[in-house]
Amino acid sequence: MSTSSRLRAVALTATAVLLSLSGAGCGGEAKGGDEDLTAQKLRWETCPAPSASEGGGTAPSPLPDGDVWECATMKVPLDWSEPEGDTIRIALIRARSSGARNERIGSLVFNFGGPGGSGVKTLPSFGEQYAKLRTRYDLVSFDPRGVGRSAGVKCEDDEQLDEYFQQDLTPDDAAERTEFLDNTKAFNAACEKNSEKTLPYVRTTDAARDMDLMRRVLGDDKMHYFGISYGTELGGVYAHLFPKNVGRAVFDAVVDPTQNPEQGSLGQAKGFQLALDNYARNCVEKKEGCPVGDSAQDVEDRIRKLLKDLDSKPIRGIFPRELTEYAATTGIAQALYSQDFWPYLTQGLEQAYNGDGRLLMLMSDLMIGRGENGEYSNLSAANVSINCADEKPRYTAEDVEAKQAAFRAASPVFGDWLAWSMLTCTGWAVPGAADHPDVSAPGSAPILVIGNTGDPATPYEGARKMVEALGEGVGVELTYKGQGHGAYGSGNACVRAAVNGYLLAGKVPRVGTVCA
* Best CA proximity match to 508, nearest among 436, 442, 449: 449
Question: Rounded to an integer, what distance in angstroms lies between the CA atom of residue 203 and that of residue 192?
Answer: 15
Which of 210, 220, 256, 455 is an active site residue?
A: 455
Question: Rounded to an integer, what distance in angstroms lies between the CA atom of residue 72 and that of residue 117?
Answer: 18
SS3 sequence of 269-306: HHHHHHHHHHHHHHHHCCCCCCCCCCCHHHHHHHHHHH
Catalytic residue check, 455: yes
Catalytic residue check, 240: no
SS3 of residue 52 by DSSP: helix
Q: How far apart are the first and last CA of the chain?
A: 23
Which of 224, 240, 436, 485 is an active site residue?
A: 485
Give me the sign of the Cα torsion angle 113, 457, 395, 185: negative
DSSP class of residue 423 equals G
Which of 195, 229, 265, 490 is an active site residue?
A: 229
Whether the CB-CB separation of 140 and 109 falls below 8 Å is answered with yes
SS3 sequence of 469-512: HHCCCCEEEEEEEEECCCCHHHCCHHHHHHHHHHHHHCCCCCCC
Neighbours of 182 (CB within 10 A): 11
Q: How many residues does the chain have?
A: 516
Question: Rounded to an integer, what distance in angstroms lies between the CA atom of residue 299 and that of residue 39?
Answer: 59
Residues known to be catalytic: 229, 455, 485
